[in-house]
Structures are given as C-alpha cells and as structure tokens.
Amino acid sequence: MAEKRPIRVVLAKVGLDGHDRGIQVVARVLRDAGMEVIYTGLWQTNEAVIRAVEDEDADVLGISLLSGAHMSLMPLLINALNEHGLGHVKTVLGGIIPETDIPELEKMGVAKVFTPGTPLPEIAEFINDSALDAIGIHECVGKHASFRGDSRLRYSRADGIAKDLTLSTHPAPPLQMLRRCRLFQGIGPAELQKIAEQVQHRHFDSGDVIFRREEPGDSMFIVAQGRVKCVVEQEDGEFELLDYEEQGGHFGDLSLLVGGLRTSTATAVMDTELLELSHDRFQSLMMSVPGFAANLSRSLGFKLRGHTNKRPSRRRSAVVGIINSTLRTQALVKPLAEALVHAGDSVEVLTDRKRAWPTQGGYLVERIPDSSDGSSRSSLVRQRLSQVVEHHDRVLIDLTQSGVEDSLPKLLDQCEEIWWLVDPLFVETAHRNLNSLLQVNPKLASRIHLVWILRHSERFPPITLYDLGVNPLDFKVVLDENQSEPSLEQRKSISRLVRHLHGTRVGLALGGGAARGLAHLGVLRALDRAGIFFDHIAGTSVGALMGASYAAGWTPENALEHFAQELTPPWLVRKLPTGNGFYMWCMYMLNAWDRKLRPYLHEYRIEQFRIPFCSVAVDLISGSVVVRDRGDAVDAVLESINLPGISRPILRDGMALTDGGVLNNVPGDLLVERGNELVVGVDVVTKLSQQFAGNTPLMATHEMRRAGPIETLLRVSEVQNYGITAMRSGAIDFMISPDTSRFEFTDFSRAYELADLGEAAAEEAIPRLSELIAEHEKGR
C-alpha cells in the first residue's frame, strides 16, 4: 500500500497585492485541518506559482486576489497550469470577487470562488473534499484521518518571487544572480561558486550613470536584474544608442580585454542590480575558468556580428508610464496593449484604477493597491517591476495625474518613457500638473512625451505645453467613442505608438511635379485602405502641399475634393490655348495660394499636425536646402511650392526662398536623417513626357511650335525635377512611380484622373511594399 501523505496545498498572492493577513489565517486553518501548506509569499508571478506547484507536487492551488485583477490574471494562470501538465491540480480563488464574475471564473476552470465572509471551516472542507476526490482517499490524509504529526506551514522562497528580488534591502546573493546570467551557462557549481566569491554586488537607482565614456575601464558589469542603456555622444551633441543590456547581459568587458578607456556611457534606466568584476579578478577568471572565457567570446561575437551588419540598435522602452488626466484619456491603454500583443509583444499593465478591467487581448492587468503612504506604494511598484520586466517585453504603468507631490514622481522614476496624456478640453489642468511634477523632479523632462487624445472633430491640439522643456517628440492620437470597431484614424494613431515603442519608423517622401502631384492623393488612398501607415512625412513642392493636408488629418478623398475645387481654373480660362499656365502664373502673381490655403490651415503650426511633417525649400542666398518642421504651416508650404522664374523668391529671415525641387525633389534623405529606417518615396515625374509645347522628337523643324515664356519655365522645372530625382533617390528604399507623363504640368482640372492613376500604381506596389515593411518590423 502506498504511503499516505497529507493533502498538499500551495497558497499564493499573485500580482500587486500587498495584504496577506487573510491568507495567513487561511493557511493556519488548513494546517490545523491536517494539510501541508506551502505559502509562497506576496507579489508572485505566474511563473513562480507554476514552479512552486511543480516542485511541491501540490494537490490544490489557492490564489488570493484583492487587487481586482482576477478576470485578467486567472485565465493566464489556468492556461499556464494546463500547458505544464498541471490541469489536475484543483485551483481555488479567494478575494473581493463580484458575484457576476464567479460563473465566468468557474467556466475558466476555477474549482471554487470564496468571497469575503466565507466561513473558514467551509474553505477547509471544500479543499479537503475536492483534493480527496481528485487523487484518491488512499493517497492523502485530510481532516477525516488521524494524521497530525507532520502537518506544517512552510514558506516557499523560490527564485523569481518579489521577496528575493527586493532591490533596496534584500538583494539575492551573487550565486543566485549568476545562475540567471547567460554568461555563466554550462559552468559547474564549484566554478560558479568561485566566480560568485569574486564579484561585488552594486545597486544603481533609475537614472544613475554607471560609468562615462573616456573614464578608465577597470571593471566589467553583469546585469543581475534591471536594465542598462549604453550610448555614445556624437559631435553634434546627440546620443547614438549602442545597446540595451537586460538580465543576463554584460558590458564594460571590452575595456578589460583591450585595455584603455571606456568607449561609451552606461546608465541605469530603472532600478538595477549589477555584479562588478574588477580587472585583476577578470584576468584570473579568464585563465582559470575556461567556460567563462568561452561564453564571453561567444557573446562578444554576437555583438560584433550586429555591428558588422551595420544594423542600428533600436530604442525600445520596456517600462512606459501612461499618465491620464481625464476618463477619456484612460481609454488609450486598452487598444494600445491589444495592438502591442498583436505585434508580438508580451504585455503587462499596472494600473491605479479602482478596478482592473477584464481583457480579451492576451495581456495581463494588475491593480496597484491604494496606500496613504506614497513611499510604500512606490516601493511596492518598484519591487513588482523587478519581476514583471523579466517576463514581458512591455510594462505599461497606467496612472492618474494626481499625487504629483506624493508618489507619482517616485513611480515615474522607474519609467524609461513617460506619456503625459492630454485632453484638449482640459489642457490647463494637464499643464498645471505637469509643471508641478517637473518642479518636484526636473530630471523627468527629457523622458516625457506629450500625447494628445483627440476627438474626430479636433483636427489640431492647442499650441501649449511646449514651453515646459519636455521631449519635443509628441503624439496625436484620435480615439473613437465606440471601441468595438476602431476607425482608420485610431488605427493610424495606435500604429505610430506601437512602432515608436519598437524603435522603428517608416517614412514617406512625396515628390514635386505641379499638377501631377495630385496623384499623391490616390497613392495615399490606396495605402490607407491597405493599412499601411507612416510615422513621418516629407514633401517637396506639390508633395509638400499634398503631404501637409494628409499629415494635418484630412483624408485623401476629402483633400482631393478640396484641391479639385480650389485649383481648377474657371471654364473660360481653360478654353484659352495656354489657359492653365496663365492661371498658375496668376496664382503666384496675385498671392492667391495664401488666400486658398488659409481657410483650411489658418495660423496652425506644423507642430500641431497629427503626423510629424517637414517641407523642403531652397535658399538662393546660401544655395542650401531649407527644411521646415516647425512654424506656420501655410508659410512652409508656400516656400516649398514657390516656382522659380514664375514667382519671386520669398524673402524671410535673411533667406530668399524658392521651390525645394531645385535641389531635392523627393526628400527621402531628410527622413533618414530624422531616424526613419525604412523610406517609401512617391515620384510623379519619373517618366518624362516626350512632348513640349506640342513638339515631339519626330517632328520636322518647320512643323515645330515656338513655346511661350511661362510654358518654357514650367518645362524647365519639370525636366529639372526629373533629373534631380534620378540623382538623389539613393535614400529611398521603395519607390512608387505613377506614370503621369500624359498629363500637363498645369493639369489641375484633371485632379480625379490623376488620383485614380496614383491609386492604381500604389495598388500594384502594395504586395511588395507590405512584405518589405513586415520584414523590417520583424527585424526589430
């Protein structure tokens, strides 16, 4: 007969739940009922719970949840149990659980839900009976047996639980940290112990500089926990990201191998635990522990391969603070988390809302408990972050803007990036709160991005909050009132946020070509329909005009309607032999462009556009390209479309400005300079019409017609654009080239035909472009 043993119960507090008095009472009741109870402690991850159930050969798993996250935590935990072959383990749940949620939890596989007020004997009886039913009366001893001698309450302190990873007061021993690092894989226990005796444990708070470039390189570091960013400062003052080092990573070793000074600056981007190995001890280990030397060589080889391939390191923020100002701004985190999961990320949300929401998006939501003590609340979140960042690509900390002078600055100190969400209707409150935050902790300014939460009726956010010295890169997000079927504008907005977090950007360069540039709108219409969106737009001449309308939030169809109406010459003018050219000349001479654009763009600035945008003009005084990515939007467009020879240069700020196509007709290089790794271009003059003023290459001399001055100037501009584009297209990764050669440079009256032509060219290119973008994003 098999030896009888007591029922074995693992109890756990999962997630951000710092109250365990109740579960300790339950543990003692179960112990007194003759069961063996293993309590794993506070702040458990699913991974730690699964390990405890496996290691302890548990019969029952009891979860206590007071955070309101049961509808998001429990499905993941039940699935994990099944995946590990532990579906036979009875799972019970206790906590503040609404009655309406209990049927759904039981459907998931929770055997029983105990709500506040359930008698303790009832809990013990159910666990006893369910365990005996599941595994047999002869294998276990419960309350109906006389076995009492070995009943006990044990506390599990398995690797990976919060108590082992408390950063400030209870760091894990070096040997335990080394076991988690890939640099020491395959090294035997004796040698690993030898290494553990050689390293020094170091703690760095978020934002601390570990070492700076040009300092003596007298040690290397191993990341036991946390995250480190390594950068190189360039001559222009900008920083080039070399790499992120996370748990198991190492840095600083190159200085020890080759001697000399540090080649980069290393900074902790969250509270971080490091193991430091001095120069002398490093050299000793290289000689005495062959496995260490082999692992280090292999790791450096992978890093060298990345640099040899010249693939730049992408900035990936793992911990992002999302700071809400209103109920409306709170609506962002759900579609954002779902989009990140759809893009392949593992996501967890920590929120201070009163109740965590149920999710169907494959991500985890945990509630940060209320606390009158901001310091303890901050400490709790720091400890939890140290766990979840190891198991998730992205952690979103969803907070309100209240508590600026209490816990909020301390919570945000752990965030690599902070999104300050602003509802345009409550901009003064957001401004006041942000100003107060920066007075408490001015170092946060460089991490803060403004995120404007717009309604569909709000095309432009107010031009405020930009005077507080925060990061100049901001985002405009259009959120739907009804989230059941996200609109095109919301999907565009969210896609830009996702790409930003992945450290990728896809830019669109729109070329000049006068009336032929109306084909851009057809290209954009097809790309929108295919779900191909862009993070930055640059335009030259008519490309600036069309690009500005799109970046400002007009749909291609809407913009086409307005441009067709505003730019088509009157019927009588169109009947004249050179009426279209005459009409364009009048547009410049009478300053009509400004009068036609102001009713739409008013005095709005480029910074207020929904998509980052820049236009290109040329300064005839310095002979250089002038790029506008800030300032009055209409002024920027007028400078870029200012055709030389037909219109006088625009005199402004010591410059004489004319059409950007003189030097850069499809400005893909500007997008590369602004961090876009993949650049799509649209060239509407790639095929030059083989006729001018009615003349063709096969006409006899006596049959040829003399061209007028305006006609000649327009043709010169067309030929110039054609040549410039051919010479400067090297920065374009993918070019869409509608054949507009049968249209005149001044055919604005044929707007719809040109748009249809552009749409057809884009549709033909979309399959190849989609593959290219997918490959680009896969390489993140």
Catalytic residues: 541, 659
**Cα separation, 719 vs 310, whole angstroms:** 36
**Cα separation, 378 vs 205, whole angstroms:** 13
- Cβ–Cβ < 8 Å for 519, 761: yes
Q: Which of 494, 598, 491, 489 is nearest to 550 (CA)?
A: 489
CB atoms within 10 A of CB 688: 16
Q: Which of 345, 290, 283, 355 is nearest to 318 (CA)?
A: 345
Q: Which of 107, 31, 98, 84 is nearest to 62 (CA)?
A: 31
Tally the residues of the chain.
780
- Token output for 596: 């036609």
SS (H, E, C) 434-496: HHHHHHHCHHHHHHEEEEEEECCCCCCCCCCCCCCCCCCCCEEEECCCCCCCCCHHHHHHHHH
**Cα separation, 391 vs 336, whole angstroms:** 19
Residue type, position 72, single letter: S
Q: Is 356 in a helix, a strand, or coil?
A: coil
**Cα separation, 132 vs 142, whole angstroms:** 8
Which residues have a Cβ under 8 Å from the Cβ of 169 and sit 6 or more positions away? none
Q: Is 576 in a helix, a strand, or coil?
A: coil
Residues forming beta bridges with residue 276, ordered by sequence position = 200, 221
C-alpha angle 534/535/538, rounded to 5°?
Answer: 85
- Token output for 206: 């978020």
Counts for the chain of helices (H) and strands (E), in that order: 25, 31
By the 10 Å C-beta count (0-12 exposed, 13-18 middle, 19+ buried), 117 is classed as exposed
Q: Alpha-carbon torsion 173, 174, 178, 184, what sign?
A: negative
For residue 213, what is the DSSP state?
T
- Token output for 692: 């001018």
**Cα separation, 611 vs 609, whole angstroms:** 5
- Token output for 170: 């209870």
Q: Is 691 in a helix, a strand, or coil?
A: coil
Q: Which of 643, 640, 732 is nearest to 683 (CA)?
A: 732
- Cβ–Cβ < 8 Å for 299, 223: no
Q: Is 621 in a helix, a strand, or coil?
A: coil
